Amino acid sequence: MPQRLLIALLAFGAALQGCSWQQVRENLPGIYSMDIHQGNIVSQEMVDQLKPGMNKRQVLFIMGTPLLQDPFHADRWDYFYSNKPSGEVRLQKRISLVFRDEELAGLQGDFRPGNLPSIEPAKEVTVNIPKIKRERTLWESIAGLFGSG
């Protein structure tokens, strides 16, 4: 009986040790941990190349494909960047490019070039969703599948 108890305590202790291994590993010298880059890598040099009036193709050439193209805001492209260096604090940057009439009008976010006006985020957002006119309702379509409609 004491032998089983000892084995159970050792297994329980090993399980608890595994929970804190991530924290211990980060503080040990000589253990390599990869940098984790996520999103679009955006540099200040890239943002400095942007000029008011550029079309979307020119901006796409400089900045690359945006991480988010919101269907409700077709004239806004969002770029997000996150970097977690080994043993350091996570770095997060974002930039939103705003277009008017297919031309670059401004930006908002963490980068500030000297030649592009900054646009404040809108306080209110209204989205108009058109009503879809159908010949039959969803219930009538389902009931028609079972021959009662």
- Domain locations in the chain as residue ranges: 1-31, 34-123
Secondary structure (3-state) at 110: coil
What pLDDT score was predicted for residue 3? 85
- What are 64-109's pLDDT values in tens digits? 998 888 888 888 999 998 888 776 788 888 999 999 998 999 888 8
Mean pLDDT of 28-38: 73
- What are 105-131's pLDDT values in tens digits? 988 888 877 555 556 666 777 777 787
- CATH match of 34-123 with 3.90.190: no
More confident residue, 124 or 141: 141
Query: Is the pLDDT reported for residue 132 higher than 90?
Result: no
pTM for this model (two decimals): 0.55
Structure-block tokens of residue 127: 């989205």
Contacts of 98 by beta carbon, 8 Å cutoff, 6+ apart = 75, 76, 104, 105, 106, 107, 108, 119
What pLDDT score was predicted for residue 16? 64
Spatial distance between the Cα atoms of 86 and 23, rounded to a whole number of angstroms: 12
Please, what is the average pLDDT of the chain? Answer: 79
Mean pLDDT of 22-29: 60
Q: What is the helix (H) or strand (E) element at residue 11, kind and residue range?
A: helix 2-19
What pLDDT score was predicted for residue 118? 55
Please name which of 49, 76, 78 lies closest in space to residue 61, comparing C-alpha atoms.
49
